Amino acid sequence: MVSSAPPEKRNLIYLYDLPKAEFTSARLAEILKNAGIELELKPQVRRDPTKPFYSCICCIKNDTQFKKAAEVLRYFEIETKQCRGLPFDNTLLGTNLMKTNEQCSIFVRKIPKNMTNKELDDKFSNFDPAMKRPVKSLKISMDEDHTSRGYGFITYENPEDATHAVQMLAEQEGVADQDCVAIAYKPKDRADVRRIANNLYVKNYPDSWTDENLKALFEPFGNIASIVQKPHQNGRFAFVCFMSTDPNDHEYGPKHAYYALTELNGKEIEEGKKTLRVSRPQPVKEARAKTSRDHQIQKLQEEMQPLRQEL
């Protein structure tokens, strides 16, 4: 029998990506019962209408059963829809994930749409023939119908494992069908994460394009907070900003900006007449330094032109 007493602040398992239509406390109790685990305390379910999925916290008081439940609920399904669970770990909650694990986290693109959480975990835990490098946590980004968006995030126990993953699973030149490409995800200045990581710098698109044209191109990848276009002698450019409608969701913007970047950069438009360029904007200091270097190079080239003509 499930009790409604408040859970003890120990032996907690956090569950994520729970389908709104199919998830119930009774369904969770059934999953655990089939594994020989009794759910004594009623789980605390968070039914946030602004989120695509439910999440919840369950408590298993018995230490032996808690350990077993953590294994059963790490990756599980409800009506074929992938869900995941993690034992309580303060470093993986909210903004702590970025503050304490930024050197251990990586971004993964080109995840096959039919790949499960467990299959992705197996791949990124066993990529190194020399040793196993266990995944601490992972998340495949999904639409509301639990369809994979083809990208995700992985956190390791230590920075060395993350570094090896990026080195050994980096994109290989000339391999068109490579899947699960690892990319370093290490914001250098957390104060700039929302400003820079949420935004994309876009250029090499038709000068006739309006904000609506850009919105139609980028909106399939997430909620757009703003689009700012600027004129330039080499062609117009724009800044596109992704942001969640939930002011407390600070991870949404960087994730969806990465998704749009990886899918749209290099895309041919106007029947191949233009190749779209999408990148993260540079911090002001770096942009100014680059402009200064470009100016110096241009000046040097101008000074060398008479010498070339003499030769």
Q: How far is CA 162 from CA 34, 103, 115, 136, 145, in A?
A: 35, 7, 21, 11, 30
Query: What's the whole-number mean pLDDT along residues 287-310?
Result: 47
Strands 199-203 and 237-242: antiparallel
CA-to-CA distance for 259 and 34, rounded, in angstroms?
A: 38
The span from the CA of 239 to the CA of 262, in Å, is: 16
The count of C-alpha atoms lying within 13 angstroms of the C-alpha of 59, restricted to the half-sphere facing its C-beta, is: 14
Assess whether pLDDT exceeds 70 at residue 101.
no
Strands (E) across 88-231 are located at: 105-109, 135-142, 148-156, 181-184, 199-203, 224-230
CA distances from 169 to 142, 165, 181 (A): 22, 6, 6
pLDDT of residue 193: 44
Helix axes 63-74, 25-34, angle to 10 degrees: 110
Half-sphere exposure of 257 (CA within 13 A, CB side): 29
pLDDT tier at 49 (50, 70, 90 boundaries)?
confident
Residue 148 pairs in a beta bridge with 142
pLDDT digits (tens, 9 = 90+) for 77-93: 999 999 999 998 766 55
d(C-alpha 113, C-alpha 255), whole Å: 17
User: Shortest CA distance to 50 belongs to which of 219, 256, 247?
Assistant: 247
> Distance between CA 128 and CA 131 in Å, rounded?
6
Read off the pLDDT of residues 142-189 as tens digits, 9 standing for 90 and up. 888 999 988 888 999 999 999 999 999 988 877 778 899 998 875 544
- With contact defined as beta carbons under 8 Å apart, do 298 and 310 qualify? no
What is the pTM for the complete model shown? 0.60
Q: 3-state class of 285 per DSSP?
A: helix
CA angle, 164 as apex, 162 and 165 as ends, to 5°? 65
Looking only at the bridges linking them, the beta strands covering 44-46 and 148-156 are unpaired
